[in-house]
Amino acid sequence: MGLNNMKILLTGGAGFIGSAMIRYIINHTEDSVMNVDKLTYAGNLESLTTVSHNPRYQFAQVDIGDKVRMPQIFDEYQPDVVMNLAAESHVDRSIDSPDAFLQTNILGTYNLLEISRRYWQNLSDERKEKFRFHHISTDEVFGDLEDTNALFTEQTPYSPNSPYSASKASSDHLVRAWQRTYGLPTVITNCSNNYGPFHFPEKLIPLMILNALAGKPLPVYGDGGQIRDWLFVEDHVRALYLVITQGKIGERYNIGGFNERKNIEVVQTICSLLDELRPQSTPYADLISFVKDRPGHDRRYAIDATKIKQELSWQPEHSFERGMRKTVQWYL
């Protein structure tokens, strides 16, 4: 895109991936960032304490669905790029109460697209050409790969199975339509499961680490045979930055770790690392307990990240072992 010193309006920056993205932008680029976050239960500004004093960082506590405040923020901040990471993101919560998922993930994204479109249409030709709307999505939109050796590519049809993944799939479709219908310069990325520091403790990896340290049971759904493709969050945000600076308009990029693991293997890895780093009289694996499976639980997700590897020269820098060691050490 050839833009230096970009102004990035990033939504959901107090969350797990959003905060990693902001730390990356402030620490590794000359760009500025406006963090727009509603601060739901999942938002934690403490994830940003190392960068929040920087003059290139600003924060506004606003809902992306707010039809009054959001246009004001665009007018005042004048972004070159929008990165949409604000979402309700926890599958179990989406099963118990889907409402917030539809509100934020679908209607919130719709509001952001409409405001972006109006803002973009009034930019000068030069700024219009450089503007990007980057929507951050998940591999869960593709559904389940049970009993196959297949991988999700950018051509895999959408087949979401949970209220969470259905709401993310809807938002991806809206972004695509705003590009095709209105010409808004969008890019979409679909990423596999992330892990790393500052992850909210309801998700598998932090939950297991914190339960183990507290001597509590380690609840594994079903037989623990569900396969996910794990990516260290710092590798994900490096990919996202490449996509906003070098990705092609209207394209989608899959991002994955080339690293499929069964859930039970992930939990066993955590237990072994804790046995080494914080030994106790009995192995942590003794705490593992199998619990009733989640309804509609997808068996296997796996990303083919060849396109981003070939076109943008991205690949993960952290092996699973190295990333997990860093993560466990951070929680310790």
Residues forming the site for ligand NAD (CB under 6 A): 11-12, 14-18, 37-40, 42-43, 63-65, 85-89, 104, 108, 136, 138, 168, 191, 193-194, 200
- Interhelix angle 233-246/16-28, nearest 10 degrees: 60
Identify whether 139 is a catalytic site residue. yes
Find tokens 């107090």 and name the residue: 14
The catalytic residue among 31, 88, 139, 234 is 139
- Measured from the CB atom, the residue of 65 and 185 that comes closer to ligand NAD is 65
- Interhelix angle 263-277/320-331, nearest 10 degrees: 60
Instruction: Tell the smallest beta-carbon distance from residue 231 to ligand NAD (Å).
Output: 8
| Coil/strand/helix, residue 181 | helix
- Measured from the CB atom, the residue of 236 and 309 that comes closer to ligand NAD is 236
The catalytic residue among 140, 172, 234, 298 is 140
Instruction: Tell the smallest beta-carbon distance from residue 141 to ligand NAD (Å).
Output: 9
Instruction: Tell the smallest beta-carbon distance from residue 4 to ligand NAD (Å).
Output: 26
Instruction: Tell the smallest beta-carbon distance from residue 110 to ligand NAD (Å).
Output: 12
| Coil/strand/helix, residue 67 | coil
- Measured from the CB atom, the residue of 108 and 323 that comes closer to ligand NAD is 108
Instruction: Tell the smallest beta-carbon distance from residue 126 to ligand NAD (Å).
Output: 30
DSSP string covering 32-61: EEEEE----TT--GGGGTTTTTSTTEEEE-
CA–CA distances in Å: residue 142 to residues 107, 159, 191, 229, 268: 21, 5, 11, 13, 27
Residue 157 backbone phi and psi in degrees, to 5: -65, 150
For residues 177 and 79, give the distance between their C-alpha atoms in angstroms, rounded to a whole number: 22
Instruction: Tell the smallest beta-carbon distance from residue 324 to ligand NAD (Å).
Output: 14
Q: How many CB atoms sit inside 10 A of residue 55's CB?
A: 6
The catalytic residue among 164, 195, 284, 331 is 164
- Measured from the CB atom, the residue of 228 and 309 that comes closer to ligand NAD is 228
- Measured from the CB atom, the residue of 182 and 200 that comes closer to ligand NAD is 200
List CB contacts of 41: < 8 A, sequence separation 6 or more: 200
For residues 197 and 229, give the distance between their C-alpha atoms in angstroms, rounded to a whole number: 18
- Measured from the CB atom, the residue of 130 and 176 that comes closer to ligand NAD is 176
10 Å CB burial of residue 295 (0-12, 13-18, 19+) is exposed
Identify whether 321 is a catalytic site residue. no
Pairing of strands 193-195, 132-138: unpaired
Identify whether 37 is a catalytic site residue. no
Q: Just list the catalytic residues.
A: 139-140, 164
